[in-house]
């Protein structure tokens, strides 16, 4: 099994998110003042005191998801505290011999738990021409979907829940922007997918999926702008034509686990990687042959060291290599795995600085950048439900030497990754 050894840890949030949530929020403000003097101060939380789904303030500030901007200069995190944070990557992060301290440039707090979110493919806070490209779509249970401008932190569009209720859509569990020029936001609910036209600001149609339950993930095809792949928590997969509003394919799969939460389309629209909860196996499905199971990849080789992967609902999100041939994804013991859709090979790309679960890994979109953002942290029960925030657990001793000195404008705590939660940037990722 090949192991890549050229990677280098070049940036980290260190212990910022390992503190309980109120402390991590205050710590961010202090660090932001030092690193970005004169800029607008970070937003304060705005939780609804009457809401029974309040965030557990004693928990660590777990990172749910990570997404790069289209130009690879900044990235966005969704955190346990209903916060949406934007990080600007230091320009010297690769050449700097010291570890860069990652500090959010801005943060926006949602009043309610974030059920799902989506960034446009062309997302960038620097886009002055199209406000949509600087926004994020946020869904909360039984609330309007909001498109929030992450620069001004104001709503540019509310998709009223009542409008969707008329079409029996209900709560939205997954979203996707269309790849073509139609300018639509796809909305996944229970057995239905709505198509919301952003230009006309109305729901144009809904598509029924009789064999699906909750649509847990939507993936617009990169090779046919009219097609979208839908996965559900009952492990069924559907393909829909958003131009005609028809479901062109529905199939219950024999995937192990408790439902699909990520579908990734390989080059040429040949295969789908299907990632499921409570499973040690990742399936490669052949799109051209009715989603037949082509290959099975093991998330970890030793099941004795993979409790969070199989016994809990924690979601670990992966990404495709730049040529869209390989899946790169973390597991519950801090390993980055690489699965090849063409030759069927699997390898351990590298070991992160901690042996807690790798909840996200995303490759920088710039050609030849070889940068990846990684978030780590394990939940005590692994529940990724957006309704109730759970405490995190300590998963084991730290691995690797991550010592380094940050720029003089910031202070760094001692590096202790025991049960840690954080974000890191790695350079030299060779796929």
Element (H, E) at 35: helix 21-35
Tokens 């955190």 identify what position?
79
At residue 257, the pLDDT reads 74
How far apart CA 314 and CA 385 sit, in angstroms, is 9
Mean pLDDT calculated for residue range 53-68? 89
Pick from 89-98, 108-117, 181-190 the range whose average pLDDT is largest.
108-117
Residue 39 buriedness (CB in 10 A; 0-12 / 13-18 / 19+): exposed
**Domains of the chain as residue ranges with CATH:** 8-427 (2.130.10.10)
At residue 388, the pLDDT reads 33
Sorting pLDDT into bands at 50, 70 and 90, what band is 162? low
At residue 211, the pLDDT reads 80
The DSSP bridge pattern shows strands 184-188 and 192-197 to be: antiparallel
At residue 255, the pLDDT reads 72
Sorting pLDDT into bands at 50, 70 and 90, what band is 419? low
Please name the residues in contact with 224: beta carbons below 8 A apart, sequence gap of 6 or more. Answer: 269
How far apart CA 312 and CA 85 sit, in angstroms, is 26
pLDDT digits (tens, 9 = 90+) for 273-331: 999 988 888 999 999 898 999 999 988 765 444 545 555 678 999 999 999 999 999 98
Phi, psi angle pair for 189, to nearest 5°: -130, -145
Per the document, the length of the chain is 431
Beta strands in 82-144 (DSSP E): 83-88, 100-101, 104-109, 116-118, 135-139
pLDDT digits (tens, 9 = 90+) for 5-45: 478 899 999 989 989 999 999 999 999 999 999 899 999 99
Mean pLDDT calculated for residue range 355-381? 88
How far apart CA 43 and CA 24 sit, in angstroms, is 13
Tokens 């042996």 identify what position?
355
How far apart CA 216 and CA 188 sit, in angstroms, is 7
Contact 271/297 with Cβ under 8 angstroms? no
pLDDT score of 408 more than 80: no
Residue 248 to residues 208, 243, 288, 291, 345, Cα–Cα distance (Å): 11, 11, 13, 13, 32
Cross-sheet strand order for the sheet of 335-340: 319-320, 326-330, 335-340, 346-351
How far apart CA 295 and CA 299 sit, in angstroms, is 13
At residue 299, the pLDDT reads 80
Q: How many CB atoms lie within 10 A of CB 419?
A: 18
- Between 330 and 399, the more confident residue is 330
Q: How many CB atoms lie within 10 A of CB 414?
A: 7
CA 6, distance to chain mean position in Å, is: 25
Mean pLDDT calculated for residue range 402-429? 54
At residue 310, the pLDDT reads 58
């Amino acid at each position: 099994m090949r192991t890549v050894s050229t990677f280098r840890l070049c940036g980290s949030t260190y212990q910022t998110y390992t503190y309980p949530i109120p402390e991590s929020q205050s710590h961010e403000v202090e660090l932001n003042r030092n690193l970005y003097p004169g800029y607008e101060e970070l937003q304060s939380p705005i939780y609804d005191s009457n809401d029974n789904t309040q965030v557990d303030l004693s928990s660590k500030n777990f990172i749910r998801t990570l997404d790069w901007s289209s130009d690879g200069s900044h990235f966005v995190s969704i955190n346990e505290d209903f916060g949406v944070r934007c990080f600007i990557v230091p320009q010297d992060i690769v050449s700097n011999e010291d570890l860069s301290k990652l500090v959010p440039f801005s943060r926006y707090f949602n009043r309610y738990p974030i059920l799902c979110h989506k960034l446009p493919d062309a997302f960038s806070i620097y886009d002055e021409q199209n406000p949509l490209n600087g926004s994020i779509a946020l869904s909360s249970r039984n609330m309007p979907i909001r498109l929030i401008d992450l620069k001004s932190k104001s709503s540019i569009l509310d998709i009223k829940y009542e409008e969707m209720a008329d079409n029996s859509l209900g709560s939205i569990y997954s979203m996707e922007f269309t790849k073509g020029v139609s300018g639509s936001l796809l909305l996944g609910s229970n057995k239905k997918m709505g198509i919301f036209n952003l230009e006309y600001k109305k729901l144009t149609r809904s598509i029924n999926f009789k064999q699906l339950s909750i649509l847990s993930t939507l993936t617009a095809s990169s090779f046919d702008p009219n097609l979208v792949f839908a996965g559900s928590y009952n492990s069924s997969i559907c393909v829909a034509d958003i131009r005609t509003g028809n479901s062109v394919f529905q199939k219950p799969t024999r995937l192990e686990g408790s439902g699909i939460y990520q579908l990734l389309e390989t080059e040429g629209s040949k295969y789908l990687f299907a990632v499921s909860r409570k499973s040690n196996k990742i399936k490669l499905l052949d799109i051209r042959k009715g989603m037949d199971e082509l290959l099975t990849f093991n998330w970890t080789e030793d099941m004795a060291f993979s409790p969070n992967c199989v016994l809990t609902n924690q979601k670990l999100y992966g990404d495709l290599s730049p040529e869209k041939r390989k899946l790169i994804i973390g597991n519950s013991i801090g390993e980055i795995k690489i699965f090849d859709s063409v030759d069927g090979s699997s390898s351990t790309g590298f070991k992160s600085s901690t042996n807690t679960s790798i909840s996200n890994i995303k490759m920088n979109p710039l050609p030849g950048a070889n940068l990846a953002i990684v978030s780590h942290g394990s939940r005590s029960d692994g529940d990724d439900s957006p309704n109730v925030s759970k405490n995190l657990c300590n998963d084991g001793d730290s691995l690797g030497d991550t010592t380094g000195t940050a720029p003089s404008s910031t202070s760094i705590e001692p590096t202790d990754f025991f049960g840690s939660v954080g974000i890191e940037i790695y350079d030299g990722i060779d796929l």
